[in-house]
Amino acid sequence: MSGDVYNRRRSGLLQTVSLPSYIGFSTQIRNIGELTNKGVELMLSTVNVQTKNFKWIFDGNISFNQNKLTSIYGDSLKDGYSGGYYRYIGEDINVLKAVRYVGVNPDNGRPLFEKVNADKTVTIVDSIPLAKQAGLRNYQTMGSATPKFYGGFTNTFVYKNITMSMLFNFSYGNKIMNNSLRSFLDPTSWQSGFNLPAPDKNQHFWSGPGDNTANYPNFYDLAFNQRGAANIASSLLYQDASYLRLRNIRLAYDLPQSLLKKMHVSSFNVYVSADNVFVIKSKELYAADPEGSTIGSTSNSYGGTGNYSAMPRRLLFGINVSF
């Protein structure tokens, strides 16, 4: 077993800053931001079982990382994608904020949001525009695109000339903005009538007065778009992206030495391999795959999930020969 502990300070991060009007340009990109990264990385390799004909080998790693903004121009950093909220000194650079979605009105199917008043009390309203009247204080922290921990592990089983390995990787505690909801959960958009992603059993749209089990609003509300359940400011879109994936499984056979000598080769290996065999994800995630996001200017949550299709499953057959 081995491990690393680190505490890194990054300076000179790029940030757009405002300039006086007499300069001739409104903004300039400067190396002005600072960020700290603290974390622990652990690695473990073991031989769990070893006999004359059988061996079980385990290799794994796990990483815990926390980052914190320590210096930014003007003491705040506007989110580069949504433009709706700010990150402040002391916060995670990937912190995600939104107007808190709290459910569905069972009487009329309208979405419900928290409106944080000036005196810190909370009023429940039925649209994003009403909630946004409270200004920036209405954007509450929903989580971060930075996982609490992530890693992977491999189990390798060897029986005589047969070897099977299974590689898993995982991520826990990170959030993403679910693009399938934002792009397609809108009956008034141009996509309507096309091949829209079908809701699964965990997405229960309001079906009529008295429906107390709905977790999604009335899809056929003529003001669906205006109410903003699928607005980028709605926390309904920010979902758990934790997962456990069987990234690869491989079965191989090595010809015995007696045959290798007759064939005049040093090694002969036949194998079959499969990638992205399955993924276990949060049941709240309305997407085929929690991976697929890309890093943007300030957050890695906005690139979109694998909602149209999951990561491709591949099956490979091969022969490796060495002379």
Work out the pLDDT band at 164, boundaries 50, 70, 90: very high
Percentage of the residues of the chain whose pLDDT score is greater than 90:
46
**Domain annotation covers residue 71:** no
Specify the pLDDT at position 294.
41
Specify the pLDDT at position 222.
84
**Domain annotation covers residue 7:** no
**Domain annotation covers residue 302:** yes
**Domain annotation covers residue 130:** yes
Both tokens assigned to 274: 């499969």
The count of structural domains within the chain is 1
**Residue burial 72-106, b: 16+ Cβ < 10 Å; e: rest:** beeeebebeebebbbbeeebbbbbbbbbbbeebbe
DSSP state of 259: H
> Quick one: average pLDDT of 57-75?
91
Specify the pLDDT at position 26.
80
Q: Are 131 and 138 in contact (CB under 8 A)?
A: yes
Specify the pLDDT at position 188.
61
pLDDT tens profile 272-321: 999 999 999 888 887 777 875 443 433 345 544 445 556 778 999 999 88
What residues make up the domain containing 142?
38-62+94-322
pLDDT tens profile 231-267: 888 999 888 989 999 999 999 999 888 887 878 888 8
**Domain annotation covers residue 232:** yes
Q: What is the pTM for the complete model shown? A: 0.82
> CA of 169: how far to CAs of 143, 149, 163, 201, 250, in Å?
22, 11, 20, 26, 15
Specify the pLDDT at position 42.
96
Quick one: which of 62, 96, 90, 54 has its CA closest to 75?
90
**Domain annotation covers residue 193:** yes
Q: Are 309 and 288 in contact (CB under 8 A)?
A: yes
